[in-house]
C-alpha cells in the first residue's frame, strides 16, 4: 500500500525503517572490513596492508641488494593484496550470509 501526497509516492514506514536497518548493517560490515590487516614478510622485507588496501607499513632489508629488495617488495605487496582480497570477500560473505 502506497500513499500519494502531491504526486509523490510514500512507502510504508516499515519498509523505510528496514532500509535504514540494512544501511546500518552495511556500515557495520564496512567498519569490520576496514579494520582488517594483512602482513607479508620475506627475507626481512615486510608489507602491511589495511582493509582500505592501503600500505600501512613497509620495512626493507638494507643487507639485501637494491634489485633483490625491489623484487621481494613487489612480491610481498602482490601476495598481501591477494590475501587481503580473499579475506575481505570471505568476511563480507559471512556477514551478509551469502
Q: What is the CATH number of the domain that holds 21?
A: 3.30.1310.10
Tens of pLDDT along 27-77?
888 887 788 899 999 999 999 999 889 999 999 999 999 999 999 999 999
- What pLDDT does 61 receive? 96
Task: Say yes or no to pLDDT of 78 above 60.
Answer: yes
What is the model's pLDDT at position 7?
54
The whole-number pLDDT of residue 65 equals 97
Q: What's the average model confidence in pLDDT over 7-33?
A: 75
| pLDDT reading at 4 higher than 70 | no
φ and ψ of 5, to 5 deg:
-125, 115
Give the residue numbers spanning the domain of 30. Answer: 3-95
Q: Exposed, middle or buried by CB within 10 Å (0-12, 13-18, 19+), for 45?
A: buried
Strands 45-50 and 55-59, how do they pair? antiparallel
Domain total for the chain?
Answer: 1
Amino acid at each position: 500500500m502506497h500513499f500519494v501526497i502531491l504526486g509523490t509516492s510514500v512507502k510504508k514506514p516499515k519498509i523505510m525503517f528496514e532500509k535504514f536497518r540494512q544501511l546500518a548493517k552495511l556500515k557495520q560490515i564496512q567498519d569490520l572490513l576496514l579494520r582488517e590487516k594483512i602482513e607479508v614478510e620475506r627475507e626481512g622485507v615486510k608489507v602491511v596492508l589495511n582493509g582500505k588496501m592501503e600500505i600501512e607499513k613497509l620495512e626493507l632489508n638494507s643487507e639485501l641488494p637494491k634489485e633483490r629488495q625491489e623484487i621481494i617488495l613487489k612480491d610481498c605487496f602482490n601476495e598481501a593484496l591477494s590475501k587481503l582480497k580473499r579475506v575481505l570477500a570471505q568476511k563480507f560473505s559471512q556477514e551478509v550470509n551469502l
